[in-house]
Amino acid sequence: MPRPFSKKDVETFFARLKAHTPEPRTELDYSNPYTLLVAVVLSAQATDKGVNKATASLFKIADTPEKMVKLGETKLTQYIKTIGLYRNKAKNVIALSKALVEQHDGQVPRDREALEALPGVGRKTANVVLNVAFGEPTIAVDTHIFRVANRTGLAPGKTPLDVELKLMKVVPDAYKLHAHHWLILHGRYTCIARKPLCPVCVVRDLCRYKDKTKELVTAAPRKRIRKRPSGAKASLGGR
Protein backbone atom coordinates (compact mmCIF):
# COMPACT_ATOMS: atom_id res chain seq x y z
CA MET A 1 0.00 0.00 0.00
CA PRO A 2 1.38 3.44 -0.93
CA ARG A 3 2.01 5.89 1.89
CA PRO A 4 -1.10 8.04 2.57
CA PHE A 5 -0.96 11.79 1.98
CA SER A 6 -0.22 13.86 5.04
CA LYS A 7 -2.03 17.14 5.68
CA LYS A 8 1.10 18.95 4.55
CA ASP A 9 1.20 16.89 1.35
CA VAL A 10 -2.41 17.74 0.53
CA GLU A 11 -1.83 21.44 1.24
CA THR A 12 1.21 21.45 -1.04
CA PHE A 13 -0.65 19.46 -3.72
CA PHE A 14 -3.44 22.01 -4.06
CA ALA A 15 -1.19 25.01 -3.55
CA ARG A 16 0.74 23.94 -6.63
CA LEU A 17 -2.39 23.30 -8.69
CA LYS A 18 -3.62 26.74 -7.69
CA ALA A 19 -0.32 28.37 -8.63
CA HIS A 20 -0.50 26.63 -12.01
CA THR A 21 -4.12 27.65 -12.66
CA PRO A 22 -5.10 30.47 -10.28
CA GLU A 23 -8.69 30.85 -11.49
CA PRO A 24 -9.97 27.54 -12.89
CA ARG A 25 -13.33 27.53 -14.63
CA THR A 26 -15.60 25.03 -16.30
CA GLU A 27 -14.94 24.58 -19.99
CA LEU A 28 -18.66 24.32 -20.72
CA ASP A 29 -20.27 27.46 -22.15
CA TYR A 30 -23.32 28.73 -20.25
CA SER A 31 -25.08 32.01 -19.44
CA ASN A 32 -27.18 31.17 -16.38
CA PRO A 33 -27.84 28.28 -13.95
CA TYR A 34 -30.34 26.72 -16.34
CA THR A 35 -28.05 26.62 -19.37
CA LEU A 36 -25.29 25.27 -17.12
CA LEU A 37 -27.61 22.48 -15.94
CA VAL A 38 -28.54 21.58 -19.51
CA ALA A 39 -24.91 21.67 -20.66
CA VAL A 40 -23.82 19.35 -17.85
CA VAL A 41 -26.64 16.91 -18.62
CA LEU A 42 -25.59 16.90 -22.27
CA SER A 43 -21.92 16.43 -21.40
CA ALA A 44 -22.35 12.87 -20.09
CA GLN A 45 -20.16 10.62 -22.26
CA ALA A 46 -19.37 13.59 -24.50
CA THR A 47 -16.64 16.22 -24.69
CA ASP A 48 -17.13 19.78 -23.49
CA LYS A 49 -16.02 20.98 -26.92
CA GLY A 50 -18.70 18.90 -28.62
CA VAL A 51 -21.37 20.13 -26.22
CA ASN A 52 -20.35 23.78 -26.69
CA LYS A 53 -20.58 23.39 -30.45
CA ALA A 54 -24.13 22.08 -30.19
CA THR A 55 -25.36 24.53 -27.57
CA ALA A 56 -23.97 27.62 -29.26
CA SER A 57 -27.06 27.78 -31.47
CA LEU A 58 -29.44 26.07 -29.04
CA PHE A 59 -28.99 28.54 -26.20
CA LYS A 60 -29.64 31.49 -28.50
CA ILE A 61 -33.27 30.41 -28.76
CA ALA A 62 -33.77 28.34 -25.61
CA ASP A 63 -31.97 29.66 -22.54
CA THR A 64 -34.83 29.18 -20.08
CA PRO A 65 -36.98 26.16 -19.15
CA GLU A 66 -40.05 27.81 -20.67
CA LYS A 67 -38.34 28.36 -24.03
CA MET A 68 -36.96 24.81 -24.03
CA VAL A 69 -40.39 23.30 -23.40
CA LYS A 70 -41.80 25.44 -26.21
CA LEU A 71 -39.00 24.27 -28.53
CA GLY A 72 -40.00 20.68 -27.95
CA GLU A 73 -38.18 17.36 -28.01
CA THR A 74 -38.23 16.88 -31.80
CA LYS A 75 -36.63 20.23 -32.57
CA LEU A 76 -34.21 19.88 -29.67
CA THR A 77 -32.82 16.65 -31.12
CA GLN A 78 -31.85 18.53 -34.28
CA TYR A 79 -29.62 20.84 -32.25
CA ILE A 80 -27.91 18.13 -30.22
CA LYS A 81 -27.78 15.22 -32.67
CA THR A 82 -23.98 15.47 -32.87
CA ILE A 83 -23.76 14.55 -29.17
CA GLY A 84 -23.74 10.94 -28.00
CA LEU A 85 -27.02 9.52 -26.63
CA TYR A 86 -28.76 12.64 -27.93
CA ARG A 87 -32.26 11.11 -28.12
CA ASN A 88 -32.34 10.12 -24.47
CA LYS A 89 -30.73 13.40 -23.46
CA ALA A 90 -33.36 15.35 -25.39
CA LYS A 91 -36.10 13.54 -23.46
CA ASN A 92 -34.41 14.34 -20.17
CA VAL A 93 -33.82 18.00 -21.00
CA ILE A 94 -37.46 18.52 -21.93
CA ALA A 95 -38.65 16.58 -18.87
CA LEU A 96 -36.40 18.47 -16.44
CA SER A 97 -37.42 21.75 -18.05
CA LYS A 98 -41.09 20.94 -17.49
CA ALA A 99 -40.30 19.99 -13.89
CA LEU A 100 -38.53 23.30 -13.31
CA VAL A 101 -41.50 25.23 -14.68
CA GLU A 102 -44.12 23.23 -12.78
CA GLN A 103 -42.29 22.71 -9.47
CA HIS A 104 -39.73 25.51 -9.14
CA ASP A 105 -41.21 28.52 -10.94
CA GLY A 106 -38.71 28.07 -13.76
CA GLN A 107 -35.70 28.43 -11.47
CA VAL A 108 -32.87 25.95 -10.90
CA PRO A 109 -33.04 24.94 -7.22
CA ARG A 110 -30.05 25.49 -4.96
CA ASP A 111 -30.68 22.18 -3.24
CA ARG A 112 -29.06 18.81 -3.88
CA GLU A 113 -32.17 16.73 -3.23
CA ALA A 114 -34.30 18.88 -5.52
CA LEU A 115 -31.66 18.81 -8.26
CA GLU A 116 -31.25 15.04 -8.11
CA ALA A 117 -35.03 14.64 -8.38
CA LEU A 118 -34.92 16.19 -11.87
CA PRO A 119 -34.88 13.78 -14.86
CA GLY A 120 -31.35 12.98 -16.05
CA VAL A 121 -29.69 14.67 -13.06
CA GLY A 122 -27.48 12.55 -10.82
CA ARG A 123 -25.14 13.37 -7.96
CA LYS A 124 -22.27 14.43 -10.23
CA THR A 125 -24.43 16.85 -12.22
CA ALA A 126 -25.95 18.25 -9.04
CA ASN A 127 -22.48 18.82 -7.59
CA VAL A 128 -21.33 20.69 -10.71
CA VAL A 129 -24.38 22.97 -10.67
CA LEU A 130 -24.11 23.64 -6.94
CA ASN A 131 -20.41 24.44 -7.31
CA VAL A 132 -20.33 26.47 -10.52
CA ALA A 133 -23.72 28.20 -10.43
CA PHE A 134 -24.08 28.73 -6.71
CA GLY A 135 -20.54 28.70 -5.32
CA GLU A 136 -21.04 25.69 -3.07
CA PRO A 137 -17.82 23.84 -2.08
CA THR A 138 -18.85 20.55 -3.69
CA ILE A 139 -16.63 18.12 -5.61
CA ALA A 140 -18.12 16.37 -8.62
CA VAL A 141 -16.21 13.17 -9.32
CA ASP A 142 -16.02 12.30 -13.02
CA THR A 143 -13.67 9.85 -14.75
CA HIS A 144 -10.78 12.32 -14.67
CA ILE A 145 -11.05 13.09 -10.97
CA PHE A 146 -11.62 9.42 -10.13
CA ARG A 147 -8.40 8.56 -11.99
CA VAL A 148 -6.34 11.36 -10.43
CA ALA A 149 -7.54 10.64 -6.90
CA ASN A 150 -6.71 6.94 -7.21
CA ARG A 151 -3.53 7.18 -9.27
CA THR A 152 -1.89 9.82 -7.11
CA GLY A 153 -3.08 8.28 -3.86
CA LEU A 154 -4.72 11.56 -2.84
CA ALA A 155 -8.12 10.00 -2.13
CA PRO A 156 -8.32 6.38 -3.33
CA GLY A 157 -11.73 4.76 -3.56
CA LYS A 158 -13.60 2.02 -5.41
CA THR A 159 -16.53 4.19 -6.45
CA PRO A 160 -17.01 7.86 -7.37
CA LEU A 161 -18.92 8.37 -4.12
CA ASP A 162 -16.06 6.87 -2.10
CA VAL A 163 -13.62 9.26 -3.78
CA GLU A 164 -15.93 12.26 -3.33
CA LEU A 165 -16.38 11.64 0.38
CA LYS A 166 -12.63 11.17 0.90
CA LEU A 167 -11.83 14.34 -1.04
CA MET A 168 -14.35 16.31 0.99
CA LYS A 169 -12.59 15.06 4.10
CA VAL A 170 -8.97 15.68 3.09
CA VAL A 171 -9.12 18.82 0.92
CA PRO A 172 -8.48 21.94 3.03
CA ASP A 173 -11.44 24.32 3.21
CA ALA A 174 -9.41 27.03 1.48
CA TYR A 175 -9.23 24.90 -1.67
CA LYS A 176 -12.63 23.18 -1.72
CA LEU A 177 -14.42 25.71 -3.90
CA HIS A 178 -12.09 25.14 -6.85
CA ALA A 179 -10.82 21.62 -6.03
CA HIS A 180 -13.18 20.07 -8.58
CA HIS A 181 -11.83 22.18 -11.42
CA TRP A 182 -8.17 21.85 -10.45
CA LEU A 183 -8.47 18.06 -10.35
CA ILE A 184 -10.47 17.72 -13.57
CA LEU A 185 -8.09 19.98 -15.51
CA HIS A 186 -5.11 18.08 -14.12
CA GLY A 187 -6.67 14.80 -15.22
CA ARG A 188 -7.71 16.12 -18.62
CA TYR A 189 -4.38 17.67 -19.62
CA THR A 190 -1.60 16.19 -17.48
CA CYS A 191 -2.59 13.03 -15.61
CA ILE A 192 -4.18 11.59 -18.74
CA ALA A 193 -5.47 8.04 -18.92
CA ARG A 194 -3.09 6.11 -21.18
CA LYS A 195 0.24 7.73 -20.46
CA PRO A 196 0.37 10.52 -17.89
CA LEU A 197 2.66 13.44 -18.62
CA CYS A 198 4.67 12.95 -15.44
CA PRO A 199 7.76 14.92 -16.56
CA VAL A 200 5.73 18.15 -16.65
CA CYS A 201 3.47 17.39 -13.67
CA VAL A 202 3.62 20.02 -10.92
CA VAL A 203 2.82 17.45 -8.22
CA ARG A 204 5.03 14.64 -9.48
CA ASP A 205 7.10 14.37 -6.29
CA LEU A 206 3.94 14.10 -4.17
CA CYS A 207 2.23 11.53 -6.41
CA ARG A 208 2.28 7.90 -5.19
CA TYR A 209 1.95 6.41 -8.69
CA LYS A 210 4.79 3.91 -9.07
CA ASP A 211 4.83 3.68 -12.88
CA LYS A 212 5.53 7.32 -13.68
CA THR A 213 6.49 8.08 -17.26
CA LYS A 214 10.13 9.07 -17.50
CA GLU A 215 9.97 11.04 -20.72
CA LEU A 216 7.39 12.65 -22.95
CA VAL A 217 6.44 11.10 -26.26
CA THR A 218 7.90 13.26 -29.00
CA ALA A 219 7.60 13.18 -32.74
CA ALA A 220 9.92 10.77 -34.56
CA PRO A 221 13.12 12.47 -35.70
CA ARG A 222 13.22 13.42 -39.33
CA LYS A 223 15.44 11.44 -41.63
CA ARG A 224 18.55 13.24 -42.71
CA ILE A 225 18.49 14.16 -46.37
CA ARG A 226 21.73 13.78 -48.23
CA LYS A 227 22.74 16.82 -50.21
CA ARG A 228 22.64 16.33 -53.94
CA PRO A 229 25.59 17.17 -56.13
CA SER A 230 25.52 20.65 -57.50
CA GLY A 231 23.30 20.83 -60.60
CA ALA A 232 21.44 17.57 -59.89
CA LYS A 233 17.65 17.63 -60.42
CA ALA A 234 15.17 16.62 -57.75
CA SER A 235 13.37 13.35 -58.36
CA LEU A 236 9.57 13.46 -58.37
CA GLY A 237 9.39 9.93 -57.09
CA GLY A 238 11.51 10.13 -53.93
CA ARG A 239 11.29 7.33 -51.39
Residue-wise DSSP of 107-133 = ---S-HHHHHTSTT--HHHHHHHHHHT
142 in catalytic set: yes
211 in catalytic set: no
- Taking a C-beta distance cutoff of 8 angstroms, is the pair 139, 179 a contact? yes
Distance (Å, whole) CA 203 – CA 3: 15
- Helix locations, 62-210, DSSP H: 65-71, 73-80, 86-104, 112-116, 123-132, 143-152, 160-170, 173-189
Residue-wise DSSP of 28-51 = S--SSHHHHHHHHHHTTTS-HHHH
Name the active-site residue from 29, 142, 195, 227. 142
Mark 209-227 as b/e (b = at least 16 C-beta within 10 Å): beeeeeeeeeeeeeeeeee
Residues 6+ apart with CB under 8 A from 103: none
Name the active-site residue from 124, 166, 173, 223. 124
- Taking a C-beta distance cutoff of 8 angstroms, is the pair 217, 195 a contact? yes
Residues taking part in catalysis: 124, 142
